[in-house]
Structure 1
Amino acid sequence: MIKAVIFDMDGVLIDSEPLHLDYAFKLFKELNITMTPNEYSKFIGTTSLYMWSNIKDTYNLENTVESLINKERNGFFEFLSSPNTNIKPIDHIPELLGALKENNFKTAVASSSPMRVIKYIINNFELAKQFNELVTGDYVERSKPNPDIFLYAAKKLDVSPEQCVVIEDSHNGVLAAKNAGMKCIGFKNPNSGNQDLSKADTIIHSFNEIDILNL
C-alpha cells in the first residue's frame, strides 16, 4: 500500500530545466567548455558534485571541484531569484499536492538541487505546508541514479521503500527510484530533454493523469 509520494523538483514541481540549461551554457562558455545540450542532458537529475567532478576530469579544468560547485550554485541562485526570471509551478501540481494532503499521504521533495534553491522554490510558491520533508542530494553520499536520496527521504517520512511512489522526469531519477525498490511515475516533460523514462512503472504527460486512489 502506497503511503508516501516523493517528488523530484526540477522538471516536476517547476519547469526549471530550461533555466538550468541557459545558465549552465553561459558558465560553460566562461570556462571555455564545449558541450552539446545532448551531452549536458546526462547530468540532469544528478548532484553538482557528480556533474562538476565529471566535467573537471573530462575537460582538465584547473579549478577545484569545490570552487566550480560554489560558482555554479551562487550564480544560478542569483539568476533564479532575479525579478526578470519567470518561473511557475507545472500545471496541476498545486491541485495534486492538495489532494494528497487531504487523503493523508506523506509527501517529500527529494531533489539534487541545494537546499537554498529548494526552499526558495517551495516558499516562493507557498507549497511549504504541502510537504512533510525536504531532502537535498547534499545529504547523501551518492548521486542519482544511486538510490541514496530516495531511501533517505523514505526514512525521514518513516515509511518503507515499498510504500513509496516517486515522481521523476529524468533517466537518472527514474533509475534511482527503481534502485531504491520504489514505484516510479515518469513525467514526460519536453523541456527536460530526451530522457529515457522506460524503466518507470507508469509514464504520464500531465499531472491530471494521476489517480491518487490508485497509486
Structure 2
Amino acid sequence: MDSSPKTFLFDLNGTVIDDMHYHAKAWYQVLNNDLNANLTWDEVKVQMYGKNGEVLARIFGEEHFSEEEVEKLSEEKERHYQEAFRPHLKLINGLDSFLEKAKEHNIQMAIASAAIPSNIDFVLDNLDVRHYFNAIVSAADVTRSKPDPETFIKAAQKLGAEPAECIVFEDAPKGVEAAQNAGMQCVVITTAHPEEDFSQYNNVITFIKDYTDSYIEDYFLQEAGK
C-alpha cells in the first residue's frame, strides 16, 4: 500500500453479518409467492444487489410499480428477512475483536451499505456495535447504488477522509467495483462469492474467510494504525 489507511468502510450484509442467504429467501418469497415472477433460486440471487426498488425495476421494468407499491413491497421483504434471520443474528467470526482493536488504533469506521436504515438499525442496535462507527451511509442517503462509488465517497466525506486513506471491506463484486470506482482499496470477505468472482478488479488487497485472518490481525491492522 502506498500509504497507511486511516479509515475502514464496511459494507453490511455479508460483510458485518453473514445474512445474504436470508435476503435471498425473503426476495424469493416476495417475488414468486406475492408477485408471481416465477424466478428460480439462482435467478433471484443474481438480481439481489442495490436498493430494493432497483431490484424490482430490473425484474419488472422501471414503471411497473408506483413509489407507494415499491415501499410496501420493500417493507414486506424486510419483514420476512428480519423474522427469519433474527435467531441467527451475530457478527461474522472475529469482527468484534477486530472492531475493538481498530478503535484502539483510533481508526475511523463507517457503515457504507445499500441496506435501508431500518435494516442497519436492526443489526447495529441488536448487536450493540453502533458505537464503533463514526458515520453511516444507507440506501436512503444516495441516489446511485453500487457499483456507483457514491456510497463510499459519501462515507469518506462524512469522516473527512481521502479515498487513498480508506480501506473498504466488501463481500460482493458490485461492492468491490464501487470501491475501485471510488479510488479505494478493498479487503474481500468470501461469505457469498469465491475469489474467482473478483478477478477483474485491481483494488483487492487480500481475501479473508473471516476477521480472524492472520493478515488483518497480525499485519494489516498494525499498519493501518500507524
Pair in the same fold by TM > 0.5:
yes
Summarize the alignment of residues 82-121 of structure 1 with structure 2, pairs less than 5 Å apart: 85-121=87-123
What is the aligned counterpart of 2:41 among 27, 37, 47?
Answer: 37
Taking the aligned partners of 1:127 and 1:42, their CA distance within structure 2 comes to 30
CA pair 183-66 structure 1, distance change in 2 beyond 3 A: farther
**Larger deviation, residues 78-87 vs 175-184:** 78-87
Summarize the alignment of residues 119-130 of structure 1 with structure 2, pairs less than 5 Å apart: 119-130=121-132
Taking the aligned partners of 2:96 and 2:208, their CA distance within structure 1 comes to 17
Taking the aligned partners of 1:12 and 1:82, their CA distance within structure 2 comes to 18
Taking the aligned partners of 1:84 and 1:102, their CA distance within structure 2 comes to 30
**What amino acid does structure 1 have at the position aligned with 2:105?**
N
Taking the aligned partners of 1:185 and 1:65, their CA distance within structure 2 comes to 35
CA pair 124-40 structure 1, distance change in 2 beyond 3 A: same
Local SS of the residue matching 2:14: coil
* CA shift for structure 1 position 34: 2.1
Considering only aligned residues, what root-mean-square deviation do their CA atoms show, in Å? Answer: 2.2
Summarize the alignment of residues 9-28 of structure 1 with structure 2, pairs less than 5 Å apart: 9-28=12-31
Local SS of the residue matching 1:207: coil
State the match for 1:202 in structure 2: 206
Taking the aligned partners of 1:63 and 1:137, their CA distance within structure 2 comes to 19
* CA shift for structure 1 position 110: 0.7
Taking the aligned partners of 1:161 and 1:105, their CA distance within structure 2 comes to 15
Taking the aligned partners of 1:69 and 1:85, their CA distance within structure 2 comes to 25
Cα pair 2:19 2:85 within 8 Å, conserved = no
CA pair 84-147 structure 1, distance change in 2 beyond 3 A: closer
State the match for 1:213 in structure 2: 222
* CA shift for structure 1 position 67: 1.2
CA pair 45-213 structure 1, distance change in 2 beyond 3 A: farther
Local SS of the residue matching 2:47: coil
Taking the aligned partners of 1:36 and 1:62, their CA distance within structure 2 comes to 21
Cα pair 2:163 2:182 within 8 Å, conserved = yes
Cα pair 2:189 2:210 within 8 Å, conserved = yes
State the match for 2:9 in structure 1: 6
* CA shift for structure 1 position 70: 2.9
Taking the aligned partners of 2:162 and 2:46, their CA distance within structure 1 comes to 29
CA pair 44-173 structure 1, distance change in 2 beyond 3 A: farther
Cα pair 2:110 2:136 within 8 Å, conserved = yes
Taking the aligned partners of 1:166 and 1:49, their CA distance within structure 2 comes to 25
Taking the aligned partners of 1:85 and 1:26, their CA distance within structure 2 comes to 19
CA pair 161-66 structure 1, distance change in 2 beyond 3 A: farther
Local SS of the residue matching 2:17: coil
Unpaired runs of 5+ residues, structure 2, are none
State the match for 1:164 in structure 2: 166
Give the percent of matched residue pairs that are identical in Structure 1 and Structure 2: 27
- What TM-score comes out, normalization by structure 2 length? 0.85
* CA shift for structure 1 position 46: 1.4
Local SS of the residue matching 1:42: helix
Taking the aligned partners of 2:150 and 2:102, their CA distance within structure 1 comes to 24
Unpaired runs of 5+ residues, structure 1, are none
